[in-house]
Structure 1
Amino acid sequence: MENLNSGAFAPTCTRETWVKRQALMARVRDFFVRRNALEVETPVLSAYGGTDPQLDYFEIEDPKRFMMTSPEFHMKRLLAAKFGDIFQITKSFRKDEFGGHHNNEFSMVEWYRVGMIQDKLMDEVEDLVSEIIGTKLNARRTRWIDAFKNYAGVNPFCEKLTDFADACRAREIPVPEKSETLTREDWWDYLMVFLVEPALASNGPEFILDYPPSQAALAQTYVDNEGYTWARRFELFVNQVELCNGYTELTDPVEQRRRFYADLEIRKGMNKPLPPIDERFLAALESGMPACSGVALGLDRLFMLALGKEEIADVILFPSPIA
């Protein structure tokens, strides 16, 4: 039997904070109602899981089901069914995510705007966040490649991978062990965490946009004047906290299927489980999902910022370690 102290039952969030959180949640819902978005509710348990190599999911056996890492696929099926502009406040689940800004089970608001270009959706994200935290953001907008050049001091497409290690040394952060085995994408992830994101904290709110296609499997792509291909993806960072992830959504079913299989090959190389491809989602694309932009925003993180808390455990009643 587990030996617990007398206070082990208690939540990590106080009643006073929870009351404030609920008031903020009501304001989030009202924000979308005022803007004529329809609230929907989709399953958190599904026969299909996403293929993203960077996300680990919970499985349930007999019959096999997946706890959803995002309501994205179901919501896009609703878009294809002509539901129009929609939003959802829901729980999502991701395995092996703990920390000051992470929890296995978390709250998000995800929404889609039919016919809206990405820049306008970023405006709406900024409006929502500004309304909830009580301060106008005025977030800068910086391309991903420029963020690496400005904040990490290296071109992410440099000819020699050793340039990444040199960038670490120049800014006095540790070079990873066995750095010679790291791929270019490994380096991107490492420098984003240790150089780019910390720099964002000192420069105020900032959108990072236009990511490499390999980091946005559900987004449309375009080719710039220099011949580089970019995914129409954006993230918003406030006080070094990543708040959201948004796309100009891919609507081509053939390209989407190709990307799913590419993801599965990467997962196979990482010795990760291989989920079945969501054929119902692909059928929705084949039926003609409308052009749209969509974004998912972490509510626990947003409320943490709005209420001046250091960790999301301060705005969640029972985070994963004590649930």
Structure 2
Amino acid sequence: MSEEQSLSEVLQVRRDKLAKLREMGRDPFIHEKFERTAMSAEIHDNFEAFDGKEVRIAGRIMAKRTMGRAAFFDIQDMDGRIQTYIREDAIGESEYEIVSTYDIGDIVGIVGTVFKTKKNEDSVRVSEILLLSKSLQILPEKFHGLKDTDTRYRQRYVDLIVNPEVKKTFLQRNKILRAVREYLDNEGFLEVDTPILSTIAGGAVARPFITHHNTLDIDMYMRIANELYLKRLIVGGFDRVYEMGRMFRNEGMSIKHNPEYTAIEVYAAYEDFNYIMALTENLVAHCCIQANGTTKVNYQGTEIDFAPPWKRLPMAEAVKLYAGVDFSTVQSDEEAREIGKKLGLDVDSSMKKGHIINEAFETFCEEHLIQPTFITHHPVEVSPLAKRNGVDPTITNRFEAFVNTWEIANAFSELNDPIDQRERFEEQVTAREGGDDEAHMMDEDFLNALEVGLPPTGGLGIGIDRMVMLLTNAASIRDVILFPTMKPIGRPDSGSKKQEDEASE
């Protein structure tokens, strides 16, 4: 008999049991509520207080052992598992016959008394058991669990049932998100909501998802960032604001990229990027402590310490250190392009010195940034929304935070000169017309807001999913997103070779 035939027969047996229950007048999907008075962990942690007392528990049958006129069911709820002991003489012969139709995966409600078995195991002696929902599918066998990653991500509901460590990761994620809000709220920041749909995709260099609004008969974009709306609120008089939510970028997929992801952006009026640096390192350290009890984590075999202060390194200094090129001596864009070619970078005639420095940094420096490091003072060419440095106008008062070679945060002193901002938008529009579909669009309303007046402001964006990966030792971004983006089953590949390679990282 093939494995498929065997599986089909087992599934049929479950449906036969379902029919038998209905013939006996029992509803296998009860519509009444079941009131619980205790959870498994609560009983384990406070056994002496519960010993000998009646409890009402509910959960999923994860194991069953039958011995004649008695049976043991392991019941799993939100907090863990607890053993239950069912005797025929305690619940009655007819009820015990019904219990024989229950399968692993079924959801039951139980009334019983807490006690310890002879093997000293916390248990519940059952006086009443009620089927709340019949499971018609088969849970993965306990010794091997659900290991296939593709199935785990597609059937996260099964993954959460059979892999306790997965549930732990998402409980930690919840702690981290609450810690973010707690820290910012205590610092006087106001949480706000801004549009997800907009007629202009702005605030970042990224390719947007496009949709269509039927009533207005216009194309709209799902947000790639919420930056420009949040800065409008600073103009309006909210001095400290933040928003944490979903962003959407129509780009490649990899172990650290998902098209739909969670990010937070934070803005503080009358502050600069130095204040934001301190805010960033303190915020991440706070989240690490809340999730793990310490500022240190072991990420995939490497110990990382998030305790402030983090290392600070200007981008040009990093390039000098790791690529061996001192761009401070380079006098022209043409000379920079020639150096870039010698370094093996992908250089074209439109690239300026700042572009070359950034390319050299990404190629030669990022791989060395394991411990938390702030890379500062990016070239103005790659920072269209950042304020120029007061001493050197070719660079900006910007930083990116790197951990484990990944960028997890981007921040700067916000550009509040509307004339400079218009010029940079115009450069972006030219790049977009030249085929760069990730370049910024012109946003006249935002420019109008700047003309009304944006005070000196420090802004920050953090990739929440990447931060959660690091703080929970998750190997892939899909391990920290409950329902990651997946290609539909059976759909032929239609993406580029580059996207396929990224997805397999």
Relative to the length of structure 1, the TM-score reads 0.86
Residue equivalent to 2:174:
22
Larger C-alpha radius of gyration, 1 or 2?
A: 2
The answer to whether residue 381 in structure 2 is matched with residue 197 in structure 1 is no
Identity %: 29
Residue equivalent to 1:170:
none
Shift of 1:39: 0.6
* Aligned counterparts of 2:356 and 2:312: Cα–Cα separation in 1: 23
1:99 pairs with 241, 247, 254, which one? 254
Amino acid of the structure 1 residue aligned with 2:323: A
| Deviation sequence 1:139-197 (CA, Å, 0-9, x none) | 11111110100112113464354434544xxxxxxx46x76879456644543333110
Amino acid of the structure 1 residue aligned with 2:189: A
* Aligned counterparts of 2:188 and 2:399: Cα–Cα separation in 1: 23
* Aligned counterparts of 1:233 and 1:219: Cα–Cα separation in 2: 6
Residue equivalent to 1:171:
none
The answer to whether residue 252 in structure 2 is matched with residue 83 in structure 1 is no
Amino acid of the structure 2 residue aligned with 1:260: F
| Secondary structure at 1:64 match in 2 | strand
2:420 pairs with 255, 259, 268, which one? 255
Whether the 8 Å contact between 2:223 and 2:247 is mirrored in structure 1 is yes
| Deviation sequence 1:195-243 (CA, Å, 0-9, x none) | 1100112xx211011111011111110253xx66211111000111211
1:143 pairs with 314, 326, 331, which one? 314
* Aligned counterparts of 2:153 and 2:439: Cα–Cα separation in 1: 38
| Secondary structure at 1:237 match in 2 | strand
Amino acid of the structure 2 residue aligned with 1:255: D
Amino acid of the structure 1 residue aligned with 2:211: I
Distance change >3 Å, CA 15–CA 212, structure 1 → 2: same
| Secondary structure at 1:320 match in 2 | coil
Shift of 1:132: 1.5
* Aligned counterparts of 1:194 and 1:274: Cα–Cα separation in 2: 21
Residue equivalent to 1:208:
375
| Deviation sequence 1:78-113 (CA, Å, 0-9, x none) | 111101111111111111131111111111111111
* Aligned counterparts of 2:438 and 2:342: Cα–Cα separation in 1: 35
* Aligned counterparts of 1:289 and 1:124: Cα–Cα separation in 2: 21
| Secondary structure at 2:265 match in 1 | strand
* Aligned counterparts of 2:278 and 2:423: Cα–Cα separation in 1: 31
| Secondary structure at 1:244 match in 2 | strand
Higher relative contact order (CA 8 A, sep 6+): 1
* Aligned counterparts of 1:28 and 1:47: Cα–Cα separation in 2: 30
* Aligned counterparts of 1:7 and 1:230: Cα–Cα separation in 2: 45
Consecutive unaligned residues in structure 1, runs of 5 or more: 168-174
* Aligned counterparts of 1:274 and 1:212: Cα–Cα separation in 2: 16
| Deviation sequence 1:22-53 (CA, Å, 0-9, x none) | 1111111111111110110101111111285x
1:58 pairs with 187, 192, 209, which one? 209
Amino acid of the structure 2 residue aligned with 1:216: S
Shift of 1:114: 0.9
Shift of 1:286: 1.2
Distance change >3 Å, CA 148–CA 273, structure 1 → 2: closer
Residue equivalent to 1:31:
183
Residue equivalent to 1:219:
386
Range with greater deviation from structure 2 (134-143 or 237-246): 134-143
* Aligned counterparts of 2:348 and 2:416: Cα–Cα separation in 1: 38
Whether the 8 Å contact between 1:114 and 1:291 is mirrored in structure 2 is yes
Distance change >3 Å, CA 122–CA 59, structure 1 → 2: same
* Aligned counterparts of 2:317 and 2:387: Cα–Cα separation in 1: 20
* Aligned counterparts of 2:460 and 2:151: Cα–Cα separation in 1: 42
1:232 pairs with 388, 397, 403, which one? 397
| Secondary structure at 2:287 match in 1 | helix
Amino acid of the structure 1 residue aligned with 2:375: I
The answer to whether residue 460 in structure 2 is matched with residue 295 in structure 1 is yes
Whether the 8 Å contact between 2:316 and 2:357 is mirrored in structure 1 is no
The answer to whether residue 158 in structure 2 is matched with residue 10 in structure 1 is no
* Aligned counterparts of 1:207 and 1:22: Cα–Cα separation in 2: 26
Amino acid of the structure 1 residue aligned with 2:321: N
2:228 pairs with 73, 83, 100, which one? 73
Shift of 1:75: 0.6
Whether the 8 Å contact between 1:46 and 1:67 is mirrored in structure 2 is yes
Distance change >3 Å, CA 156–CA 98, structure 1 → 2: farther
Shift of 1:279: 2.1
Residue equivalent to 1:125:
280
Consecutive unaligned residues in structure 2, runs of 5 or more: 1-149, 161-165, 290-294, 296-306, 489-505
* Aligned counterparts of 2:236 and 2:467: Cα–Cα separation in 1: 31
* Aligned counterparts of 1:276 and 1:165: Cα–Cα separation in 2: 30
Distance change >3 Å, CA 199–CA 63, structure 1 → 2: same
| Secondary structure at 1:242 match in 2 | strand
Distance change >3 Å, CA 6–CA 218, structure 1 → 2: closer
Whether the 8 Å contact between 1:51 and 1:263 is mirrored in structure 2 is no
The answer to whether residue 315 in structure 2 is matched with residue 163 in structure 1 is no
Amino acid of the structure 1 residue aligned with 2:239: G
Amino acid of the structure 2 residue aligned with 1:60: T
Distance change >3 Å, CA 7–CA 230, structure 1 → 2: closer
* Aligned counterparts of 1:74 and 1:298: Cα–Cα separation in 2: 18
Q: How many residues align?
A: 306
